[in-house]
Structure 1
Amino acid sequence: MTPEIRILAETKLMGKHMKMSYANNTTSQLWKSFMPTKKLISNAIGSNLHSMQIYPTLFQYENFNPNLEFTKWAAIEVTNFNVIPEGLETYTIKGGLYAVFLHQGPASAFYVTFTKIFTDWLPKSEYEVDDREHFELLGEKYSNTNPNSEEEIWIPIKLKK
């Protein structure tokens, strides 16, 4: 499991968000709410969707708490915030250094890839998690239940001290 190390520029998103925890995961409700409104966004850049998590403190896998609430976004990248359709909100990802992994398989197997990132790759790497936005990029090959589905996992990183 070798990621691409990329520098992300500041990225403007438009979509919807909800507070949730992994124990009380309402991701499907969030996406069901967002998808019908996506067609109202006239200045989207491409069709890739962002599933973003903003944790209240630095995400540390070794101290994982499934009851910790975080903010989850269902969004798409846009050129600007000049026109914001009713019911949608905006967010700007700060940008920075990311480790980008490819998850292949259905969403139900996501935890396997996620666990490998945090228990295998990260401890052996020269990086540590940075306190910024985590997200998955859902492109043309993404399909929630398809065993051939693909999505990119973007983990914010910085060099270890």
Structure 2
Amino acid sequence: MTPRIEEINARKLIGVSRSMSISNNKTRELWEGFRAGVPTISHRVSSDFISLQNYPIDFFRQFDPNMPFEKWAAVEVSEVSNIPQGMHSFDLPAGKYAVFEYKGSSNDPGIFQYIFNQWLPTSTYWLDHRPHFEVLGKNYKNNDPNSEEEIWIPIQEK
């Protein structure tokens, strides 16, 4: 699977976040708390959802399934105003990303094993320290083998 490489401008997101770890995954609860408030978010850019992970700088160097990171359930907006109660804004910085078009269950770790253990080490890129995210569009179906999403991995030239 070969990704497309995209350089993006900074983006504005509105959503909710929660600290969690791989071993103490609270993704389901995060999204359940977010979905009810989505209709109250103004200035949405699209109908897509963003699942974002903001990892500590040493997360991938000293992997520990108990190491906490910040996870967001969000949407992209054109401007940050009238943020619904209980939600916050997040500024996604500009940068280069490897974008993988993935079809399969969101519970299958195989795609991430491929990205980090096969594709990245043999590519001309390093992992960059910026947020990782997935774009969950109209063909996303949670835990369905026919689900489709885009996986955005922050990269920089070696």
- Pair in the same fold by TM > 0.5: yes
- 2:39 counterpart residue number: 39
User: C-alpha displacement at 1:79, in angstroms?
Assistant: 1.0
Residue 56 in 1 paired to residue 49 in 2?
no
| TM-score, scaled relative to structure 1 | 0.95
- 1:149 counterpart residue number: 147
Q: Deviations over 1:97-151 (max 9, x none)?
A: 0000112111111x10000001110010000100001001100010012211011
Equivalences for residues 17-32 of structure 1 within 5 A: 17-32=17-32
Gaps of 5+ in 1: none
User: C-alpha displacement at 1:44, in angstroms?
Assistant: 0.8
- 2:114 counterpart residue number: 116
What amino acid maps onto 2:140 in structure 1?
Y
Asked whether the 8 Å contact 2:127–2:154 carries over to 1, the reply is yes
User: C-alpha displacement at 1:42, in angstroms?
Assistant: 2.1
Counterpart Cα distance in 1 of 2:23 and 2:69: 11
Residue 135 in 1 paired to residue 155 in 2?
no
Higher helix fraction (1 or 2): 1
- 2:156 counterpart residue number: 158
| TM-score, scaled relative to structure 2 | 0.96
Counterpart Cα distance in 2 of 1:112 and 1:63: 20
Task: After the TM superposition, list the runs of 4 or more consecutive aligned residues in structure 1 that deviate by more than 6 angstroms.
Answer: none
Asked whether the 8 Å contact 2:42–2:81 carries over to 1, the reply is no
Counterpart Cα distance in 1 of 2:59 and 2:96: 16
Gaps of 5+ in 2: none
User: Which secondary structure state, in structure 1, belongs to the residue aligned with residue 81 of structure 2?
Assistant: coil
Identity %: 45
Counterpart Cα distance in 2 of 1:154 and 1:125: 15
User: Which secondary structure state, in structure 1, belongs to the residue aligned with residue 45 of structure 2?
Assistant: strand
